[in-house]
Amino acid sequence: MRTIAEIMTEDCKTVGPKDTVRQAAIVMRDNDIGFVPVVEGSRLIGVVTDRDLVIRALAGDSSGATLVGDVLSTDVKTVSSDTSVDDAAELMAESQIRRLPVVDNGELRGVISIGDLAIREIFVNEAGEALSSISEHGLAH
User: With bands split at pLDDT 50, 70 and 90, how would you rate the model's confidence at 122?
Assistant: very low
What average pLDDT does range 72-84 have in this prediction? 94
The pLDDT of residue 4 is above 60:
yes
Asked if residues 40 and 121 have their Cβ atoms less than 8 Å apart, the reply is no
- The pLDDT value recorded for residue 54 is 86
Domain boundaries, the chain: 4-140
Question: Please, what sign has the CA dihedral across residues 129, 132, 133, 134?
Answer: positive
What average pLDDT does range 34-57 have in this prediction? 91
- d(CA 32, CA 84) in angstroms, rounded, equals 27
Asked if residues 49 and 34 have their Cβ atoms less than 8 Å apart, the reply is yes
- The pLDDT value recorded for residue 27 is 96
- The pLDDT value recorded for residue 141 is 43
- d(CA 116, CA 93) in angstroms, rounded, equals 14
Query: The CATH number of 4-140 is which of 3.10.580.10, 3.40.50.2300, 3.40.640.10, 2.40.160.20?
Result: 3.10.580.10
Most confident among 36-45, 81-90, 131-140 (mean pLDDT) = 36-45
Phi-psi region of 31 (alpha: psi -120 to 50; beta: other; left: phi over 0): alpha
Higher pLDDT, 139 or 100: 100
What average pLDDT does range 38-50 have in this prediction? 95
DSSP state of 83: S
Higher pLDDT, 137 or 49: 49
Bridge partner list, 6: none
